[in-house]
Amino acid sequence: MANVTDPVCGMQFDSSQAEAQTTHEGTAYFFCSEECRKLFEANPEEYIGNTADSSA
Ligand SMILES: [Zn+2]
């Protein structure tokens, strides 16, 4: 059981509850839906390039 964050929409959930998953450059990413996975795979850098999480 590991808490993960959907890089597309920011939702947090347990990895066992992820609806979709992909691997990018050796790192696994989990998603709340296939829609989020498709968005991520269309443009991964947009989601992982910006790790700043300061804006609430
Ligand atoms: Zn999502």
The amino acid occupying position 11 is M
**What's the 36 CA to ligand 1 centre distance in angstroms?**
5
Q: What is the pLDDT of residue 56?
A: 47
**What's the 7 CA to ligand 1 centre distance in angstroms?**
7
Q: Mean pLDDT per segment of 10 residues, for the chain of length 56 residues?
A: 93 97 96 98 89 53
Ion ligand 1: residues, CB < 5 A: 6, 8-9, 11, 32, 36
Q: What is the pLDDT of residue 49?
A: 78
Helices (H) and strands (E) counted in the chain, each on its own, are: 2, 4
Q: Are 52 and 38 in contact (CB under 8 A)?
A: no
**What's the 50 CA to ligand 1 centre distance in angstroms?**
16
**What's the 8 CA to ligand 1 centre distance in angstroms?**
5
HEC sequence for 37-54: HHHHHHCHHHHHCCCCCC
